[in-house]
Chains A and B, each alone.
Chain A
Amino acid sequence: MNNDHSDTGAEAGTESGTAATAARTLPVTDLSLVVLIGASGSGKSTFARKHFKPTEVLSSDFCRGLVADDENDQSASRDAFDVLHHIAGKRLEAGRLTVIDATSVQSESRKQLVQLARTYDVLPIAIVLDLSEEVCAARNASRPDRAGMPRHVIQRHRRELRRSLRGLEREGFRKVHVLRTEEEASSAEVVLERRYNDLRHLTGPFDIIGDVHGCRSELDTLLGKLGYVDGAHPEGRTAVFVGDLVDRGPDSPGVLRRVMSMVAAGNALCVPGNHENKLGRYLAGRKVQLTHGLAETVEQLEREDAEHPGFRGQVREFIDGLVSHYVLDDGKLVVCHAGLPEKYHGRTSGRVRSHALYGDTTGETDEFGLPVRYPWAEEYRGRATVVYGHTPVPSTSWINNTICLDTGAVFGGKMTALRWPERELVDVPAEKVWYEPVKPLVTEAPGGREGRPLDLADVQGRRVVETRHLGRVAVREENAAAALEVMSRFAVDPQLLAYLPPTMAPTATSRMDGFLEHPAEAFAQYRADGVERVVCEEKHMGSRAVALVCKDADAATARFGTAGPTGALYTRTGRPFLDDTAMTEGVLARLRTALAAAGLWEEWDTDWVLLDAELMPWSLKAGGLLRSQYAAVGAASGAVFPPAVAALEQAAHRGIEVADLAGLQRARAQDAAAFTEAYRRYCWSTEGLDGVRLAPFQILAVQGRSLAAVPHDEQLAWLDRLVEHDPTGLLQVTRRLLVDTGDEDSVRAGVDWWLEMTGRGGEGMVVKPLGALVRDARDRLVQPGIKVRGREYLRIIYGPEYTRPENLERLRSRSLGHKRSLALREYALGLEALDRLAEGEPLWRVHEAVFAVLALESEPVDPRL
């Protein structure tokens, strides 16, 4: 290896040009800013035309023409260069080779161009046409527009050029090609070179290996587990090391030897870590502090010296040749040590290298004196997958298509590899704690073991959450503010709050006599959406409850990081459903037992289950509201009607014309009584768990899987088994009916079923597409459920007298658009939370989506819908 391979190392390709007689080849990096330097008349434009595409060349003359209608108007130079720099910037930003055709003989003008190249992290390359004054003068003389150019202009250009020649590398040009004669200039060939970091043509498959830190034994084990035999994979896979091969661990030389030989044999690629960088500086004789485990490496290398005197030099050469990052597999994969934002992919500059090696540090230090790292991955939205290491994490997790593979092997964690393109993780545990970490890998705070604890910036203010099923979902500031208060003051530990249920839209308003809601509308809507098979599920009138059931407290600790509870039972705004933790544990225990008896733990290969349910009676949770609002209405109406009706009857008896009023009052007294009856159906007294019933209606997620898209018939089969295996009477089955929306008889059966159920005081039903997660013909998400509430139940919502024809008529003008949109947005956020949970994303990512559901619940929607 030599310096040529270093993307930002010492400059290469400088040509003296003195002895050149044969045709010169001029290497030019494929993404670079090529600056042609030469006096007026030295043939720059001719050279550019010959070697580059017309669109790649930006000429100052052309830009003068653009701004001043005269290519030779020197007074327009400043504006012309503004335009030139702007266009060049746009091209470089887009990753396009750009050639600057201007004299560029003054260091000041070149400085701006070098700066431009740095801004866009590309290499500045100089091609100098150092031709004699006579040649230049002759060329100018042959051009009508330049024929009159005074000789002293060329002379001045030549003087400035001669002065500059020596310092071009120092100015920042990474390649300097000087052409001295007309023959040399006309015979030279420009050869485009791929950037060293551009290995898009290599498609693997790869095994990307996280930080090794001198843990040779673990590395050998991991390579073995990945299928490598003596540094080579029988199926031709390529290992890719993310750097930090050395320091802290017991055998850095052994690791280096292994990796160097694999790289030399073409079986591996390696990017440098900050530890290699520092070791390189040490080996180059620079003064570095022997901290952070470098002392151990130095000592190990000294022991090597006796046996393998040349090894030290090989290491130095190896490190010098490392390229800061690689773009692989057709641009789909980027590997580097500390992560890289998309704008740096495939770029070459000091800061790209610095980011690749050290990450983005904020300049602050944390409580352990370590630099605070800017969480670049949280903002990453790039197309390429970025695989990196550098920051030890207790376990790997995908964040925005990036993954950190440093799982702290040297600190007693594990060594992790990622199979690409399979995206499979393979790891081996550390054999021991080889080095005590300065700061514990795990922060005690919630979320700490998954990268970092929850941060206010994850939830506060106006936010946009990216969802897989509905794109970007926005949360407004005032809604986030209300959610923050409720989440902070009343919710269960966010670690246990992996999901909040979405709101559900009611069916389109019915025009049928006496009904505000009727199932016919729901069936028609799904039919219009192209959903043929729907399931009607009985709506239990209780309170929504989400249950997280873990096998035991240890399982809860292992997966959710809590200490103590075996799960959680919470309401639709995340509050603990029951104040009494012992009662909560009682419910969880019964669920756990039923799950075990039904064999579902094994079937799902999980030790936790998240499920959605309705908990009854309604009075258990809503007791306060019932007393202050619903029963109060009943009590007041019950007290006022009898004397009022009696007074009217008395007056009528006297012959006063009050018959209409009396009749009306009697009817209203009946409505009020019906209202009282309506809420009473959902109230009964309970003692401990006696009288409490839980009707589960969806299994949301288990270890590694979101089950939210599992068709409802499968769901109900699981749930029936669960209920069947509960001997305590807590679990209640949800009655259901399958309806074919295209079949009149089936639809009629569905309507009859609803009429029968609500006629007996049932709350109503929810109609769901059997396929659960369904899109319509236009690829839009279909409502996951539509509620059809019973006629009597709706008195609780719309008031005792809503069924009077004139009232119904007015209520029918209700508008459902916002509610439907809200239901879909919350649904998508809920799915997103479950997907993130299943994929093992860090807590803050799951919480972001859960929090957004809560925030949306405070949007202004007609509360009666």
Chain B
Amino acid sequence: MRIILGQVFLTIGTTGTPERPATDLGFLLHKHPDKAQTYPTSHGSAHVFYPEASAERCTAALLLEVDPVALVRRGKGKGRGGAPDAALAQYVNDRPYAASSLLSVALAAVFKSALGGVCRAMPERAESPLPLRIEVPALPARGGAELVHRLFAPLGWTRVEVTAVPLDEEFPAWGDSRYVRLLLEGELRLADALRQLYVLLPVLDDAKHYWVAPDEVDKLLRAGEGWLADHPERALITRRYLSHRWGLTRQADQALELVRLAESDDLDVESVDNAVDESTDTEEKPVPLAGRRRTAIIDALRAAGASRVLDLGCGQGQLVQALLKDVRFTEIVGVDVSMRALTIASRRLKLERMGERQAGRVTLRQGSLTYTDKRLAGYDAAVLSEVVEHLDLPRLPALEYAVFGAARPGTVLVTTPNVEYNVRWETLPAGHVRHRDHRFEWTRAEFRDWAGKVAERHGYTVRFEPVGPDDPEVGPPTQMAVFTRTDAITTTGTTEKSKEAEAA
């Protein structure tokens, strides 16, 4: 018995003539127009019934009652009376109402033969186009009405009507929801129409699903045969499939601990677990400025003669990877506060498959620069590349002390965006920071002021180097400070003290 039930709904209609009655739809769908039938699916019961069925007009309705509790259980595969380690978002969500991959799966289950284009009773009707009218009242559409048009228009529909659904009419300021009402009209083969829906519903939804199993994703991929190859949005469709799959792997390493902390504070998980942006500066899509930054950093490290290096805030491990290529760097320690970043870095470096000798040169570990950390003491150099701007200004003194006061490497490299340069980014709206997690961006003068004071307080000298084209007016896109420990500190006091200790 299904208990907590939701509902997902779509209708498929057609028109006909006395010679070719619309009620043939019943044969094509393999569902009798005068019966209401119920089928169990993996996420709830699917009901098929016909609101209208005459020779002129025939409409089939598919109503899927989704059981969200079953969804949670499927997702976690354990738990009595509700899996205790599930996230709250898994309990109260739009799945029961929105036409997502769940409907897609139900579609495939209930209309299996029709989807395959099989009709024993009237094979010629199955092979020929019909005048179809399809309505999906609540279709989650990331990318909005415009994308829905782009996806369906090339597929032969004569009418693609997309209406936005407001989030809450009592709060107009909240704007539109991610749902649209979709109406499709055109002459298509029924099987093609069903396959399009089967693939494009989840593509438009594009949500992370905790509960979709990988084999279902594979089924989705197979259904693209025939029409996907020539679709102008094929890249987007494919990418969203992949990200969908990625979502599955992501879920596996998503720290549920972090999800719970976000939820305990009424926050989206994405607004907490966002330390790394996996879509930027990947191996496939290197960002030119990031490459320049790494070159500048490695040059400065070589110039300083450093061999044992800390990458503080190593993120996805790009710099660690670059440092590994030069054997002069005998020990490379990547530190990040985000466990996710470290997981990705470890994957990028292929640490598990790395030879012992090379793997012995690199360590990745969780740490935080707002705390002193004894394990960071005694290194030749530390790199803080694009790190300081991710910290709220009031917490910068803690970082300053942890790095310059406590860890005290011989050389410290700090890079940070030069906010003056932002006017040169064509894609960046005026007054915006370059990354949504940047808590501040400094002008050259502000950076120099901070770096100068830090150097003075902690016994370092500092010089500045531009990274990227040094614009005569606004300077370089990235600014780098190279701190060198002066080391002129009296060592006599030390020996005296230790002698005293020995004498005691």
- Tell me the complex Cα distance, A131–B216, Å: 96
A656 contacts the other chain (Cβ, under 8 Å)?
A: yes
Interface string of B182-198 (1 = CB under 8 A from A): 00000000000000000
Residues of chain B in range 446-504 having any CB-CB distance to chain A below 8 Å = 457-459, 489-494, 496-498, 500-501, 503-504
Among A48-56, A103-111, A633-641, the stretch that binds chain B is: A633-641
Return the CB mask of A485-501 against B: 1 if under 8 Å, else 0.
11111101110000000
Inter-chain contacts of B504 with A (CB < 8 A): 274, 277, 350, 353-354, 357-358
Chain B residues near A444 (CB, 8 Å)? 397, 400-401, 457
Contacts of B397 in A (CB 8 A): 444-446
Chain A window 109-153, contacts with chain B (Cβ cutoff 8 Å), 1 for yes, 0 for no:
000000000000000000000000000000000000000000000
Q: How far is the CA of A818 from the CA of B85 in the complex (A)?
A: 12
Asked whether B168 lies within 8 Å of A625 as measured between CB atoms, the reply is no
CB pair A481–B257 under 8 Å, yes or no, is yes
Inter-chain contacts of B171 with A (CB < 8 A): 631, 680, 683, 685
Q: Which residue of B lies closest to A362 (CB)?
A: B374
- Chain B nearest Cβ from A742, distance in angstroms: 32
B47, B49, B97, B400: most-surrounded residue (chain A CB, <10 A)? B97
Binds A, one of B87-95, B152-160, B317-325: B87-95
| B261–A637 CB distance below 8 A | no
- When C-beta atoms are compared, the residue in chain B nearest to A809 turns out to be B3
Q: What sequence of 0s and 1s flags, for each residue 1-21 of chain B, a beta carbon within 8 Å of any chain A beta carbon?
A: 101111111010000000000
Cβ-defined contact, B367 with A661, below 8 A: no
Answer whether A367 and B489 are a contact pair too, CB < 8 Å, given A458-B371, A486-B272, A640-B97: yes
Taking CB atoms and an 8 Å cut-off, the chain A residues in 846-865 that contact chain B are 854, 857-864
Give the distance to chain B from A475, nearest Cβ to Cβ, in Å.
11
Among B4, B5, B51, contact of A647 (Cβ-Cβ < 8 Å): B51
B side interface size, CB within 8 A = 112
B394 contacts the other chain (CB 8 A): yes
Q: With A367-B405, A625-B268 known to touch, is A858 a contact of B261 (CB < 8 Å)?
A: yes
| A503 and B88 form a contact (CB under 8 A) | no
Whether B275 contacts A489 by the Cβ 8 Å rule is yes
Contacts of B5 in A (CB 8 A): 664, 668, 801
Q: Given A367-B405, A627-B174, are A648 and B49 also a contact pair (CB < 8 Å)? A: yes
Are A639's CB and B405's CB within 8 A? Answer: no
Docked Cα-Cα span, A331 to B282, in Å, equals 64
A596-628 interface code vs B (CB 8 A; 1 in, 0 out)? 000000000000000000000010011011011
Instruction: Name the A residues within 8 Å of B398 (CB-CB).
Output: 445-446, 453-454, 494
Contact A292 B177 (CB under 8 A): no
Chain A residues within an 8 Å CB radius of B69? 810
**Chain A, 360-402, contact with B by CB distance < 8 Å: what is the 0/1 string?**
0101110111110000000000000000000000000000000
| Shortest Cβ distance from residue B475 to the other chain A in the assembled complex, whole angstroms | 28
Tell me if B431 is interfacial: C-beta within 8 Å of chain A: no
Contacts of A365 in B (CB 8 A): 491, 493-494, 497
- Distance in angstroms from A202 CB to nearest chain B CB is 26
A367-B408, A650-B51, A863-B87 known; A807+B4 contact, CB < 8 A: yes
Question: Is A644 a contact of B372 with CB atoms below 8 Å?
Answer: no
B 249-276 contacts with A by CB, 8 A: 255-258, 260-261, 263-268, 271-272, 275
Chain B residues near A857: list those with CB within 8 A.
260-261, 264
Chain B neighbourhood of A299, CB < 8 A: none
CA distance A547 to B406 in the complex (A): 32
B92 and A633 contact, CB distance less than 8 A: yes
Is there contact, CB below 8 Å, between B493 and A624?
no
Choice from B9, B89, B168, B497 contacting A371 with Cβ under 8 Å: B497
Interface-facing stretch out of A253-261, A567-575, A775-783: A567-575
Partner of A799, one of B81, B91, B339: B91
Task: Tell me the complex Cα distance, A683–B266, Å.
Answer: 14
Interface residues of A in 398-444 (CB under 8 A from B): 438, 443-444
Residues in chain A near residue B337, CB distance under 8 A: 484-485, 488-489
Chain B residues near A565 (CB-CB < 8 A): 394
Please tell me if the beta carbons of B255 and A478 are within 8 angstroms of each other in the complex.
yes
A438 to B9, CA, bound (A): 77
Q: Is the CB of A811 within 8 A of B63?
A: no
A249 to B: closest C-beta gap in Å? 19
Contact for A860 among B49, B256, B366, B459, CB less than 8 A = B256
Q: Are A658 and B366 in contact (CB under 8 A)?
A: no
B502 CB → nearest A CB, Å = 9
Inside 8 A of B179's CB, which chain A residues have their CB? 632, 635-636, 639
Q: Are A482 and B258 in contact, CB atoms less than 8 angstroms apart? A: yes
Complex contact A860–B84 (CB within 8 A):
yes
In the complex, B115 has a CB within 8 A of chain A: no
> Does B50 have its Cβ within 8 Å of any Cβ on chain A?
yes
Chain A positions within 8 Å of B47 at CB level: 658, 661
In the complex with contacts A444-B401, A651-B36, A857-B261, A629-B394 CB distance below 8 A: no
| Interface hit among B133-141, B233-241, B412-420 | B133-141
The residue that A489 contacts in the complex, of B8, B80, B373, B390, with Cβ under 8 A, is B390
Whether a CB of chain B sits under 8 angstroms from the CB of A22 is no
Which of A438, A642, A656, A799 interacts with B35 by CB under 8 Å?
A656
Residues of B within 8 A of A543 (CB): 266
User: Contact mask A464-485 → B, CB, 8 Å, 1/0?
Assistant: 0000000000000011011111
In contact, B137 and A488 (Cβ under 8 angstroms)? no
- Write the B23-66 contact mask toward A (1 if CB under 8 angstroms, else 0): 00000000000111000000000010111110000010101000
Q: Is the CB of B3 within 8 A of A799?
A: no
A144 → chain B closest CB, angstroms: 53
A241 at the interface (CB under 8 A from B): no
Contact B501 A802 (CB under 8 A): no
B371 touches which of A277, A455, A861 (Cβ 8 Å): A455
Whole-angstrom CA separation of A482 from B273 in the bound complex? 10
Say yes or no: B458 contacts A367, CB within 8 Å.
yes
Nearest chain B residue, comparing its CB with the CB of A660: B36
The chain A residue sitting closest to B365, CB to CB, is: A460
Q: Is B367 touching A456 in the complex (CB atoms < 8 A)?
A: yes
**Shortest CB–CB separation between residue A15 and chain B, in angstroms?**
29
Q: Are A354 and B501 in contact (CB under 8 A)?
A: yes
Q: A796: which B residues are within 8 A, CB to CB?
A: 92
Q: Are B85 and A860 in contact (CB under 8 A)?
A: yes
- Closest residue of B by beta carbon distance from A669: B7
Shortest beta-carbon distance from B315 to chain A in Å: 13
Check B113 for interface membership: any CB of A closer than 8 A. Answer: no
- Whether A648 lies near B51 (C-beta < 8 A) is yes
Q: How far is the CB of A366 from chain B (nearest CB, A)?
A: 9
B334 at the binding interface (Cβ < 8 Å): no
| CB-based contact A454/B372 at 8 Å | yes
A637 touches B97 (CB 8 A): yes
Contacts known (A456-B367, A456-B368, A631-B174); A810 close to B405, Cβ less than 8 A: no
Q: Which residues of A contact B406 (CB under 8 A)?
A: 453
Question: Do B50 and A292 have beta carbons less than 8 Å apart?
Answer: no
A822 to B394, CA, bound (A): 32
Q: Is B86 an interface residue when CB atoms closer than 8 A count as contact?
A: yes
Return A729 CB to nearest CB of chain B, in Å.
Answer: 22
> Are A371 and B401 touching (Cβ within 8 A)?
no
* Interface 1/0 per residue, B216-257 and A, CB below 8 Å: 000000000000000000000000000000000000000111
Please list the 3 inter-chain residue pairs (A to B) with the smallest Cβ-Cβ separation, ordered nearest first.
Answer: A445-B401, A482-B257, A858-B257
Which positions in B face A, CB cutoff 8 Å? 1, 3-9, 11, 34-36, 47, 49-53, 59, 61, 63, 68-69, 80-82, 84-89, 91-94, 96-98, 135, 137-138, 140, 165-168, 170-171, 173-174, 177-179, 181, 255-258, 260-261, 263-268, 271-272, 275, 337-339, 366-375, 377, 390-391, 394-395, 397-398, 400-402, 405-406, 408, 457-459, 489-494, 496-498, 500-501, 503-504
Q: A858-B258, A862-B82 are in contact. List 4 more A-B contacts (CB 8 A).
A: A454-B371, A457-B373, A639-B179, A799-B4
The 12 listed contacts between A and B (C-beta, < 8 Å) are: A363-B498, A369-B494, A371-B494, A453-B405, A485-B337, A493-B394, A625-B266, A632-B179, A651-B61, A658-B49, A799-B4, A802-B4
